[in-house]
């Protein structure tokens, strides 16, 4: 069977699609990079915004028009919260909700075996890294799924259920196998990563998991994905004394207005978040501190938006992920009064995005003339000087530079020569 894989949304979705790819390869199937070559197409959907759902519908129709004979399998959060709506998309075939996602490969191939020990999967991981799907050179490792928070805007709890942690030994074995296969960087992912271990017996926590990974694996670089601010205990930033833990933190704020944060049922406020950001910067040199922001939440006044805009500038985030609020089915906020009109949301979103570009540019300009280590990910083009490569610094700045054909999946010192808001240019 020839399978084309695609994913929308968070790093957890990408982790799941990578796991599916390895399972397919282990059972003798082929991963293809052209839609027209596929017998089966799998799309892992996202439901966090209305735009993500539209993207899923658009991609499904595109897949069908490009390859009408392919079996299109839709899974993920959008497929879970609106299965009938998803099933009615032109070209849609099988719909697999999240609680059955782990059985997806066996649904496609009833003879498939998924119980291969992780250390025996190393050759498959190496093959995956060598192929185009592995071009990231960063492996996304699922440590946790689900969420027990009750943020009023979020559909994830509905789509993924309560928090569930993987056993630490399984995570460590997977990361060590990935390192043995040649991956240079692992990214720990989860819907609510900071809650890791609370549901296990005996209880453990994320800090213990990180220490164990750093002690028991050879992965060169370890990165953490999104962490809710209320999940970070005192002393957590001491983990970054180990240079293999990369100086990049993504802490979702969602709004810089205390009144809006209360309506969102976020378990933080401006004062607490500022204290956390200050502590992180004091403990982690060269920290890249990024965040998520929702603009136009129900009831957001002009004064509250101005508070949010000013607060974001004061904190000095280095990267913003900005979303216009969109009502999600089944969430409390979808029924809130005083929904912000579309044109107002659009204008406020533009202003927040513009601020994000200013903050990112200022952060990147600090590195002009400096030499940084870059993990080169993929060739993105060519010019008269040769291949043009893209990669990431340890603190997650995207770098573009010319280099030789064998630069991919290597870490090299690179001098930064130019800065833009979304990336920097360098010389290897």
Q: What is the pTM of this model?
A: 0.91
Boundaries of every domain in the chain: 2-108, 118-246, 254-365, 371-427
Give the per-residue pLDDT at 132.
Answer: 47
Q: Are 32 and 5 in contact (CB under 8 A)?
A: no
pLDDT at 128: 58
To the question of domain 118-246 being in CATH 3.40.50.2300, the answer is no
**74: which 2 tokens?**
């839709």
| Domains 118-246 and 371-427 belong to one CATH topology | no
β-pair partners for 74? 43, 95
Size (the chain), residues: 428
Tokens at residue 213, please?
């990974």
Do residues 35 and 41 make contact, with C-beta atoms less than 8 angstroms apart?
Answer: yes
CA quadruple 157, 159, 164, 165: dihedral sign: negative
Q: Residue 290: what pLDDT?
A: 98
Which of 120, 123, 73 has the alpha carbon at shortest distance from 94?
Answer: 73
Per CATH, which fold does 371-427 belong to?
A: OB fold (Dihydrolipoamide Acetyltransferase, E2P) (2.40.50)
Give the C-alpha separation, 422 to 357, whole Å.
7
Question: If you ran DSSP here, which 8-state letter would residue 253 be given?
Answer: -
Q: With contact defined as beta carbons under 8 Å apart, do 264 and 334 qualify? A: no
Helix (H, G, I), strand (E, B) or coil at 413: strand
Report pLDDT digits (tens) over 260-279.
999 999 999 999 999 999 99
Q: Which of 294, 293, 288 is nearest to 318 (CA)?
A: 288
CATH topology of domain 254-365: Transcription Regulator spoIIAA (3.30.750)
Peptide bond into 202 cis (omega under 30): yes
Asked if residue 318 lies in contact with residue 289, where contact means CB atoms within 8 angstroms, the answer is: yes
- State the architecture of 2-108 in CATH terms: 3-Layer(aba) Sandwich (3.40)
Position 26 scores a pLDDT of: 86
Residues of the chain with pLDDT under 50: 132, 134
Continuous H helices in 131-220:
156-160, 168-181, 206-216
């Amino acid at each position: 069977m020839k399978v084309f894989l695609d994913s929308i949304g968070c790093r957890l979705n990408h982790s799941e699609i990578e796991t599916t790819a390895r399972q397919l390869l282990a059972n003798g199937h082929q991963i293809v990079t052209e839609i027209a070559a596929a017998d089966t197409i799998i799309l892992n959907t996202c439901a966090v915004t209305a735009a993500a759902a539209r993207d899923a519908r658009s991609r499904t129709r595109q897949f069908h028009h490009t390859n009408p004979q392919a079996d299109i399998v839709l899974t993920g959060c959008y497929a879970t919260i609106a299965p009938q709506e998803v099933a009615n998309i032109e070209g849609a075939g099988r719909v697999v909700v999240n609680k059955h996602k782990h059985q997806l490969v066996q649904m496609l191939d009833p003879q498939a075996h998924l119980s291969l020990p992780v250390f025996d999967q190393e050759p498959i991981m190496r093959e995956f890294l060598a192929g185009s799907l592995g071009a990231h050179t960063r492996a996304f490792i699922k440590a946790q799924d689900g969420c027990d928070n009750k943020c009023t805007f979020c559909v994830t709890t509905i789509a993924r259920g309560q928090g569930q942690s993987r056993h630490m030994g399984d995570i460590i074995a997977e990361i060590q196998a990935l390192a043995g296969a040649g991956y240079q960087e692992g990214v720990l992912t989860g819907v609510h990563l900071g809650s890791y271990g609370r549901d296990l017996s005996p209880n453990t926590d994320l800090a213990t998991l990180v220490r164990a990974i750093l002690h028991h694996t050879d992965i060169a670089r370890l990165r953490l994905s999104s962490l809710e601010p209320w999940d970070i205990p005192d002393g957590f930033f001491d983990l970054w004394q180990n240079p293999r833990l990369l100086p990049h933190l993504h802490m979702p704020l969602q709004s810089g207005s205390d009144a809006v944060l209360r309506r969102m049922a976020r378990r933080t406020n401006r004062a607490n978040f500022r204290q956390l950001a200050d502590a992180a910067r004091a403990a982690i040199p060269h920290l890249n501190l990024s965040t998520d922001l929702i603009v136009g939440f129900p009831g957001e006044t002009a004064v509250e938006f101005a508070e949010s805009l000013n607060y974001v500038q004061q904190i000095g985030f280095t990267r913003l992920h900005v979303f216009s609020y969109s009502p999600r089915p089944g969430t409390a906020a979808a029924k809130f009064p005083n929904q912000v009109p579309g044109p107002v949301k659009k204008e406020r979103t533009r202003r927040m995005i513009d601020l994000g570009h200013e903050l990112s540019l200022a952060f990147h300009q600090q590195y002009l003339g400096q030499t940084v280590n870059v993990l080169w990910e993929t060739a993105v083009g060519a010019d008269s000087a040769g291949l043009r490569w893209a990669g990431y610094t340890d603190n997650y700045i995207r770098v573009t530079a010319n280099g030789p054909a064998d630069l991919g999946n290597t870490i090299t010192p690179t001098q930064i020569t130019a800065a833009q808001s979304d990336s920097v240019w360098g010389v290897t």
